[in-house]
Structure 1
Amino acid sequence: MGGIPGFLQPMSILARYFSKSDLDEIKSAVGEAESKTSAEIVPFFAESSHHYKEWAWFGAFLMGGLSGVTFYTAQNLYSLVWGGESFFAVLSVWVGALLGLAITAVFPKVRINLVSRGAKQYFVDLRAKEAFLDEEVFRTKNRTGILIYISLFEHFVRVLPDKEIAKVVPKSEWNEAVRLIVDGMKSNKKKDGIVSSILFCGDLLKKYNIQIEKDDKNEISNEIRDGGKLM
């Protein structure tokens, strides 16, 4: 058996947002940054950090309430009297709720706009920590791995350094690495932002004397990781 034909296989998240030359450039940037330091830089790209399906019910609640208010306002404004007003009022709420549920369930980008910033931050932080463990960033010889976690739909980035780097580099120093990627996502220059951030991290580590060792080996591959599709 030859397996699933290529045209039937789902497109990877990376292939959806980056060309092959983009991915090669990001990989090269990791290699260049690591040539200055003993650290291992692991970029990780996720389309989103959670499916947020729970918020489809919030969409139903909002649309149901809006439909009910609209019906009540129209009835009073235009003095609509046809009998069975209570039935039609309840019906308008249910129709609106079902419509809101359907829209937010089918369209993830609509759904995510209902989510509070705090909730998004929670799921991004949680998924970044999971990625740190899944990619085994902690398994470097001197505990000098760094995860750069990028969550596209939320426009959030997290830089998670392993303990030996965290001891030396203040948290505030990573703000520029985050800003470069976020600005790139907002301006539709995702690859440029990621490359700039990776190179910045290499210079920052060199600044704090996380120097490359004589017997340094590439302990973690340089490719950007595909976070898959959650929504």
Structure 2
Amino acid sequence: MAVLSKYFSDQDLAEIKEAVKQAESKTSGEIVPYFAEASHHYKEYAWQVAFLGGALGGFALFIQSQFVDSSWGEIPLIYAILYIWTGSLIGLVLGTALPILRKLFISNKMKSFYVNLRAKEAFLNEEVFRTKDRTGILIYISFFEKIVRVLPDVTISKIVPQSDWNEAVRLIIDGMKSGNKRAGIVASILFCGNLLTKYGVEIQKNDQNELSDEIRDGGTLL
């Protein structure tokens, strides 16, 4: 529960669990919320921070030689190497230690790629497919990337158009942007329950709770 306890209070987690229970009380669908701090470590982008640090080191040397100590004349090669390598090393250390710096260089395409990959892994690892009528739904939330994916199992995907999950995604994204993650997740879960009811995924007489109601802890990769 390391990551969940970092971002949610016990009361938040209880309300999310209750929302799942309430949503599933009207449908045979099984809703599985999953919260990951990030979908990839992006450590390879620390090198781009290092390149930026080297460029800034070179720029600092230029400023010093032109405006601080103009008596240098030509910049000694050893100074150029020293400033650039020092800037690169500082950039590499900071880029490795601070994910927010790496994030500056990550394209939306790459973020989507890793989120999609990790969401599919979560679907399998959490065995969302393990329901009698294949009515599981994974709500995958990747906090670092601010990306949400809804992955319905085959029975649900045949009934509910993919475009109808956009509102479920929007509710969580808006919650993250406003600083109220719990409210966004709760609203999204309840919306999913209503959406399943709308499309006729009704609760069966012998319905059982096949997947637990707790939000899953996706851990951290940062």
Q: CA deviation at 1:80?
A: 4.2
Mapped contact 2:49–2:101 kept (Cα < 8 A): no
SS at match of 2:191: helix
| Structure 2 gap ranges (5+) | none
**Hey, what does 2:145 align to over in structure 1?**
154
Superposition map of 1:1-231 within 5 A: 12-77=2-67, 79-81=70-72, 85-231=76-222
> Residues 75 and 220 from structure 1, CA distance in 2 versus in 1: closer, same or farther, beyond 3 angstroms?
same
For residues 41 and 122 of structure 1, the distance between their equivalents in structure 2, rounded to whole angstroms, comes to: 23
Mapped contact 1:74–1:80 kept (Cα < 8 A): no
For residues 101 and 47 of structure 2, the distance between their equivalents in structure 1, rounded to whole angstroms, comes to: 13
TM-score by length of 1: 0.91
SS at match of 1:90: helix
In the TM superposition, what whole-angstrom CA distance separates every residue of 1:191-224 from its partner, at most 9, and x where no partner exists? 0000000000000011111111111110000000
| Structure 1 gap ranges (5+) | 1-10
RMSD between aligned residues: 1.4
TM-score by length of 2: 0.95
Q: CA deviation at 1:82?
A: 6.2
Mapped contact 1:47–1:153 kept (Cα < 8 A): yes
The one-letter code sitting in structure 1 at the alignment partner of 2:59 is: V
SS at match of 1:59: helix
The one-letter code sitting in structure 2 at the alignment partner of 1:119 is: M
Q: Percent identity?
A: 58
In the TM superposition, what whole-angstrom CA distance separates every residue of 1:146-177 from its partner, at most 9, and x where no partner exists? 00000111110000001111111111100100
Q: CA deviation at 1:84?
A: 6.0
For residues 29 and 142 of structure 2, the distance between their equivalents in structure 1, rounded to whole angstroms, comes to: 23
